[in-house]
Amino acid sequence: MIIKFKENTGFDEMINRVVQGHCLDVLKTIPYNSINCVVTSPPYYTLRKYKEAETDWGDWVGQLGQEPTLDLYLDHLLLVTKEIKRILTPTGILFWNHGDSYDKNKCMTLQGYRLVLRMVEEQGWILRQRIIWAKEIWIKKENRSLGNAVPHPAKNRPNFTHEEVFILTKSEKYWYDPLYRIPHSRFELNKKLKQYHFDEFANENDFLEPNIEDDLPAMGKNIPSVWFISLGKFSVPHFAVFPPELIESLISMGCPSFVCKKCGKPRERIISKSYLPTRLKTRLVTDKTGADQDPYKSLHLSDIAKYESKVIYQHGGWTKCDCDTQFLPGIVLDPFLGSGTTAVVAERLGRRFIGIEVSKKYCEMAAKRIKKEVQQKKLNLVSLG
């Protein structure tokens, strides 16, 4: 499960393994356009010290995050992100979690934002969104909190209870699961459909048919950018453990389940659309029914309480590849693996993974967790059989 990195360590040897070594050294040996998704969180600047974490960065030797200046820390991270951009596939995606810390003047460093700004301006990354990962929230009306975060003794500012997850890509078109949505509420449907009220006394030829499906995706609405995921309780002795729920969401939405073994092209979902007649009743002007053949079927959605047909979206399988060869699971990479949550979740979701970690202690911790997950999957298969 653990391999100690050497200059001749092959890419295939790293698949589904914990690689012990300097992340920059390992990344430089990974081939171009070979990684589908990166989920990671680097050590934050001046926040924590880890044992066995000193590495050579060329201009400085020490633990990442303990550099003498913030600019030097960012320079080192940019070396990492440069390699990540190189090894990501054209449709790949990077989920970069970065919290913050205070300088000696008790001023927030905004290190994550400084880094991402330089990634965009200097390396050509595309920042698609930033997720606000809320670990604990304040319900003002009840004057209580929900969730839990690491407490802080400061008495003259709110506690740190959220972090950012930056979503970055190397191209405008990238793989993203279209079914990763949440259902529309009845209120939202009613509110939207009322905008397309049909006047039964209007001239049919003067009516411009609204494209309701474009304005209100029937598969559900887009997930919001603020996620409430509590830290929970972890038995892992690590200062910064990812909640599995957070990583599950990121990998599910950003790492393809299947990629072509030959060309690496990811399979896309095929979404089929059909119309279900729910009430065969004619309209005064159109004299049409809610049957599937009705060219004016979208008019039947003018009043959700009386519509005659509804749109049904279904997952109709996956696209194929002209290479006509087998497909493999997508690859998730974490260059700062830590206790191994990214690898554990990737294994759970049926993706391949590569975890890089400099600390021998954390490599062993991650390997132990991954082995437990593999054993649990085997037990689940036995129980199903």
133 shares its domain with 28: yes
Strand 35-40 and strand 88-98: the pairing is parallel
Q: In which band, very low, low, confident or very high, does the pLDDT at 205 lie, cut at 50, 70 and 90?
A: very low
16 shares its domain with 153: yes
> What average pLDDT does this structure show over 6-28?
97
218 shares its domain with 169: no
Asked if 284 and 202 count as a contact pair (C-beta separation under 8 A), the reply is: no
Distance CA 36, CA 93 (A): 7
**pLDDT tens readout for residues 104-120:** 999 999 999 999 999 99
**pLDDT of residue 352 exceeding 70:** yes
64 shares its domain with 6: yes
**pLDDT of residue 290 exceeding 70:** no
> What average pLDDT does this structure show over 57-82?
97
Distance CA 33, CA 22 (A): 21
**pLDDT of residue 84 exceeding 70:** yes
199 shares its domain with 89: no
119 shares its domain with 231: yes
Number of independent structural domains in the chain: 2
Strand partners for 40? 96
**pLDDT number for residue 342:** 97
> What average pLDDT does this structure show over 126-139?
97
**pLDDT of residue 271 exceeding 70:** yes
**pLDDT number for residue 196:** 38
DSSP state of 31: P
**pLDDT of residue 278 exceeding 80:** no
173 shares its domain with 276: no
How confident is the prediction for the chain on average, in pLDDT? 84
> What average pLDDT does this structure show over 282-309?
47
Domain C-terminal end among 282, 298, 318: 318
Distance CA 260, CA 283 (A): 50
96 shares its domain with 245: yes
**pLDDT of residue 211 exceeding 90:** no
60 shares its domain with 145: yes
105 shares its domain with 84: yes
51 shares its domain with 11: yes
Residue 262: Cβ within 10 Å count: 13
Residue 49: Cβ within 10 Å count: 11
**pLDDT over 90, % of the chain:** 66
**pLDDT number for residue 382:** 67
**pLDDT tens readout for residues 325-350:** 999 999 999 999 999 999 999 999 99
125 shares its domain with 215: no
Domain C-terminal end among 303, 318, 333: 318
Q: Tokens 């970055």, residue?
A: 168
**pLDDT of residue 285 exceeding 50:** no
C-alpha closest to that of 107 among 174, 71, 175, 157: 157
> What average pLDDT does this structure show over 237-242?
63
**pLDDT number for residue 241:** 77
CATH number where 69 lies? 3.40.50.150
> What average pLDDT does this structure show over 219-239?
77
Distance CA 356, CA 17 (A): 9
Q: Comparing 199 with 252, which gets the higher pLDDT?
A: 252
Domain that holds residue 298: 181-222+269-318
C-alpha closest to that of 169 among 359, 38, 308, 258: 38
